[in-house]
A and B are shown apart, each in its own frame.
Chain A
Amino acid sequence: MTRRIFACAVYAGLAAGVAFALLSFAFVIPPLLEGELYEGGERVHFGAGGSPESEAGAPSLGGDIRRHGLTAALSVVSFTAFGLLMSAAFAIASRRGARIDARTGLAWGAAGFFAVQLAPAAGLPPELPGTVAAEIGARQIWWGMTVVLSLAGVALIGFGSGLAAVAGGVALLLIPHLVGAPHLDRYFGVAPPELAAHFATRSMAVSAAGWAVLGAVAGHFWSRADASERTPRAA
């Protein structure tokens, strides 16, 4: 069981991390680099003349192999972390009779995306570089609490029975947002709102793709291990 949990997590984490990194380089890193132009002052929106105009267009990725290599490597680390938690949850769920395969794994991936990415992003949107926000420690605590409560809420809705479980799950999902994420009482944005919004939606879309790959690949390898256990090896 232990080997199976770790094998699933590594295969799925690698596949999802690579998919996420490739999609990031195509869709998320370009607006991120464009945001850095405003962070560093190379481009100015609402400049001296007060005009809300600035040049649009992302710079090329450039030849910084180390920077982009680290981004790809850390993407694999992040998705392997998510994969380990998902495979551990597979182990618990399958012992209770849940059917795990590539198809149901896709649903697990969607639930993971919802709880780990979308729910915290509703309070703390993905940030362009240069975004001035509340103190990092407070945001990380809110982020962590939101992920834990949202995972518990999703699990309660998915695996609980009866209306009370659904109501409890919805309550867990709502609590962090009723409490509210830490925010400043002023706006400091230097980048055009169009760019910040597009970066945020791109980040969510590409993360969703990563989670879909993670769930489907983890589910696939989990069910393959099931099948090989059911087939007598001497036959």
Chain B
Amino acid sequence: MNTTRTLDRADSPSDIAGIAAAILLGFSLLFVAGISHAAILHDAAHDQRHAIAFPCH
């Protein structure tokens, strides 16, 4: 547990991978909540898409 502390300052590959994973997951969730045309997602997200001003319909 304690040995991982020093990694934070270095340009470690795991840092880059973590940043990339967060960006990828962020865009994936954004697609689900705001963009997907799948009927079930559109219907579930309908009010929220209007409220948050994603283009809907």
Asked if A204 is an interface residue, CB under 8 A from chain B, the answer is yes
Are A143 and B55 in contact, with the CB atoms below 8 A? yes
* Interface class of chain A by DSSP: helix
Q: Is A28 an interface residue (CB 8 A)?
A: yes
Contact A87 B32 (CB under 8 A): no
Interface membership of chain A positions 204-235, coded 1 if the CB is closer than 8 angstroms to chain B and 0 otherwise? 10110010000000000000000001000100
A80 in contact (CB, < 8 A): yes
Q: Looking at A75, A83, A210, which has the most chain B CB atoms within 10 Å of its CB?
A: A75
Interface size class of A (residues with CB under 8 A): 35 or more
Q: Are A229 and B5 in contact (CB under 8 A)?
A: yes
* A126 touches B (CB below 8 Å): yes
Q: Given A1-B7, A91-B19, A229-B5, A128–B45 Cβ distance below 8 Å?
A: no
**Which residues on the A side are within 8 Å of B53 (C-beta)?**
117, 120-121, 124-127, 200, 203-204, 207
Residues of A contacting B47 in the complex (Cβ-Cβ under 8 angstroms)? 24, 29, 32, 67-68, 70-71
> Interface on chain B toward A: helix, strand, loop, or mixed SS?
helix
A88 in contact with B34 (CB, 8 Å):
no
Q: Is B38 an interface residue (CB 8 A)?
A: no
Q: How large is the interface on B (under 10, 10 to 19, 20 to 34, 35 or more residues)?
A: 35 or more
A70 contacts B57, CB within 8 Å? no
6 extra A-B contacts, CB within 8 A, seeds A82-B26, A124-B55, A140-B35: A1-B14, A29-B47, A85-B22, A120-B53, A133-B55, A144-B35
B residues with a Cβ closer than 8 A to A are: 2, 5, 7-8, 11-12, 14-15, 17-19, 21-23, 25-30, 32-35, 37, 44-57
Residues of chain A at the chain B interface (Cβ within 8 Å): 1-3, 5-6, 9, 20-21, 24, 28-29, 32, 67-68, 70-71, 74-75, 77-78, 80-85, 87-88, 91-92, 95, 117, 120-121, 124-129, 131, 133, 136, 139-140, 143-144, 200, 203-204, 206-207, 210, 229, 233
